[in-house]
Structure 1
């Protein structure tokens, strides 16, 4: 929670910092290295590797925990992969393989020289400083990742810091969605409708929702006046805007602790590195909207 002890801080900087840094974490979900390294320990490529990789820091949790914390996946899809994954590889082995995958994917996308650059080390140090003192209360996915020891390699310090900040923000985002009365499916539909999330085909394919389930979710949102045939209604757009503002507020503490000057430096460094990995094909085509 944002503390009154912090000085006045530009709230827009919170969102800018998130957008600058998050691609450095999330690139792994689209990288072939994730499947390569997790398949090497026996997991199936694709969804099993994704679910197990991201959930492993919480331990050998069941499908219900993964569905609740990841929020916008079809429960049947999660249950098909979890807890079966833990009978193939322990969470500890999955975590270790994921470190290797992150190192490999970032090295490829940044280039070996940039991956070992002073800028990577500087950004990693800033992210670690931003994470110092964060509370895990009410943030289960963040808490699991925060229990992991910090790596020593600068490139992995950067990736772990970006991961912690993503999961800390994500746990707060889920709380805001619950408060707004949006189910995981409804949250996904409305985010797609903003044009800034997944495209509808990508959302259905990656999150496991059928056409019938998607249509039912759209109907429920229409009944609430949040969606129509043209997309989000005015009320729906206002709700999504409030959700982002509230999410930024719940994600502000690391940046308030770091301070405006250092946070601006995070944005500068993060943008540069994120542009590089994006230009090198980190996210492919046809996955996201504008």
Structure 2
């Protein structure tokens, strides 16, 4: 069912912090590195690309992940699959994330609210169409864990990748490339692009060429900041991303959605990012 008011942005605020556990809690990288991986970025690509399987080439992962600079994915894929398997990476990532989430939540991890939230969030997360959502569709094939904290994290990850696939669609719709998306975000929060972590490591000439291209399209001004057109583009991308992220929550009744929000609020409050 469709809800009277859009809910995707509200749910993003509650669910995204759970989906970010692999990137902020050390336990995830530690579990993946124990498989024999050599670098933190190996752990990132092994954990996130594992649902796609061993045989997917770097060019396809690059296209699906969307926002890495040329050549960055190929530094890790397929080499990581010489060190471990996608199945082992999936299991290690889940173990690490559950350990990290349990550490963060403390006694709250065993509260009945976590189990309720996990079940309702999973109902939403497994209800959306998969068409056009390559990473979400791949993750849908992964085993669903039974333990409540694991189910909660798994559901949040499904919703994160569903939204991420939709965000890529929104960026393509607006003609914003992968590195450009990072520039657009950095400048929208008044941060110089060269200081933004995801692109700050790029060679200065490479990053400046991206910004020059955006300047030529009227998105960035001569002063290096977003123009009105640039800010409007960012707003349209976010609005379309939210609209495309609504579908999972249509599986929940209004009372289920209210219950889910109430149960997620203390969980979100306990997560420090």
TM range (shorter): over 0.9
Write the distance in 2 (CA, Å) between the matches of 1:153 and 1:87.
30
Write the distance in 2 (CA, Å) between the matches of 1:197 and 1:124.
36
* 2:119 matched residue in structure 1: 125
Equivalent of 1:216, from 203, 209, 212? 209
Equivalent of 2:91, from 91, 96, 101? 96
Write the distance in 1 (CA, Å) between the matches of 2:267 and 2:190.
21
TM-score using structure 2 length: 0.93
CA contact (8 A) 1:38 1:97 kept: yes
CA contact (8 A) 1:63 1:75 kept: no
User: Are 1:247 and 2:241 matched, yes or no?
Assistant: yes
CA contact (8 A) 2:184 2:234 kept: yes
User: Are 1:59 and 2:56 matched, yes or no?
Assistant: no
Cα deviation code 1:82-112 (max 9, x no counterpart): 110001101011111111111111011111x
Equivalent of 1:40, from 34, 37, 55? 34
Aligned length: 270
Aligned residue for 2:159, secondary structure, equals helix
Task: State the 1:274 CA deviation.
Answer: 2.1
TM-score using structure 1 length: 0.87
* 1:266 matched residue in structure 2: 260
Equivalent of 1:23, from 13, 17, 20? 17
Write the distance in 1 (CA, Å) between the matches of 2:24 and 2:57.
24
Write the distance in 2 (CA, Å) between the matches of 1:133 and 1:35.
29
Write the distance in 2 (CA, Å) between the matches of 1:34 and 1:241.
33
Which structure is higher in RCO with an 8 Å CA cutoff and minimum separation 6?
1
Name structure 2 gaps, 5 residues minimum. Answer: none
Cα deviation code 1:28-69 (max 9, x no counterpart): 112211221111111123111001100001101221122111
Task: State the 1:187 CA deviation.
Answer: 0.9
Write the distance in 2 (CA, Å) between the matches of 1:152 and 1:198.
44
User: Are 1:68 and 2:63 matched, yes or no?
Assistant: yes
Task: State the 1:237 CA deviation.
Answer: 0.8
Task: State the 1:142 CA deviation.
Answer: 0.4
Write the distance in 2 (CA, Å) between the matches of 1:210 and 1:144.
33
Name structure 1 gaps, 5 residues minimum. Answer: 1-5, 284-290
Cα deviation code 1:229-281 (max 9, x no counterpart): 25211111111111111111111111122134433443333332122121xxx
Write the distance in 2 (CA, Å) between the matches of 1:197 and 1:152.
42
Q: Check 1:196–1:91 CA distance in 2 against 1; reply closer, same or farther (3 A cut).
A: farther
Cα deviation code 1:134-168 (max 9, x no counterpart): 22111110011100121000001000000000111
Equivalent of 2:76, from 73, 77, 81? 81
